[in-house]
């Protein structure tokens, strides 16, 4: 179970990339006090956990309703993850999550940025959602699914911790350091996306040839 926990956390953390969200979070909270920023970080992590848990538990039912197969999800999800990884590698993390200049300007006028755009779409986007839906279908035992749900909560705590100390992280790493980390994560995410596409295509070809 520990190996499953570590494997899922590594995949989910890479796709979510909370380090890449640090500059965006700080840019959206320039006038916040430390207490207000901590409050926003806490709410963001809570919404993040709720969103991903909801899709993890209910995603298969949604796919069944629309008649989407697991292999089709793996291919589509793999392409989304691959696209996200490419955006990370090219230094366009926010843009890849539909957080453009206009969204940032609107966020500056909002009282609460925790749900949108921070929790969704910046952190819990299509890549992480498709990843978890696929994992729910792959792991039929509820013990394994419980481990994955625990990973979601743990990742949420990690998001909270990173956003809470975001000023210190930004001061220490700077823009160049955070971009360098994001590019490394992007390479891992791209490899993960390619693997999911390969798995989906292999499963589809096997099904068609059966």
Q: How many domains does the chain have?
A: 1
Query: How many CB atoms within 10 Å of residue 21?
Result: 26
Going residue by residue through the chain (210 aa), what tens digit of pLDDT does each one get? 899 999 999 999 999 989 888 988 988 888 889 999 999 999 999 999 999 999 999 987 888 888 888 888 889 888 988 888 888 777 666 665 556 666 666 666 677 889 988 999 889 988 899 899 989 988 889 999 999 999 999 999 999 999 999 999 988 888 788 888 888 888 888 999 999 899 989 988 888 886
Domain extent for 71: 2-209
Alpha carbon separation from 77 to 32, 65, 108, 130, 190 (Å, rounded): 36, 18, 31, 5, 12
Tokens in use for 58?
């209910």
């Amino acid at each position: 179970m520990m190996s499953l926990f570590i494997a899922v956390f590594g995949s989910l953390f890479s796709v979510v990339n909370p380090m890449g969200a640090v500059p965006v979070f700080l840019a959206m909270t320039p006038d916040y006090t430390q207490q207000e920023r901590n409050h926003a970080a806490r709410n963001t992590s809570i919404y993040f956990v709720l969103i991903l848990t909801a899709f993890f538990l209910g995603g298969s039912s949604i796919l069944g309703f629309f008649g989407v197969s697991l292999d089709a999800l793996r291919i589509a999800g793999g392409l989304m993850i691959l696209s996200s990884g490419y955006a990370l590698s090219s230094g366009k993390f926010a843009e890849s999550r539909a957080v453009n200049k206009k969204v940032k300007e609107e966020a500056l006028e909002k009282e609460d940025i925790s749900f949108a755009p921070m929790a969704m779409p910046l952190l819990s986007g299509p890549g992480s959602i498709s990843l978890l839906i696929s994992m729910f279908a792959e792991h039929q035992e509820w013990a394994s699914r419980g481990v994955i749900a625990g990973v979601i909560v743990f990742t949420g705590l990690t998001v909270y911790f990173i956003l809470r100390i975001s000023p210190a992280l930004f001061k220490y790493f700077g823009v160049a350091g955070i971009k360098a980390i994001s590019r490394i994560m992007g390479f891992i995410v791209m490899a993960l996306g390619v693997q999911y596409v390969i798995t989906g295509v292999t499963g589809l070809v096997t099904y068609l040839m059966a």
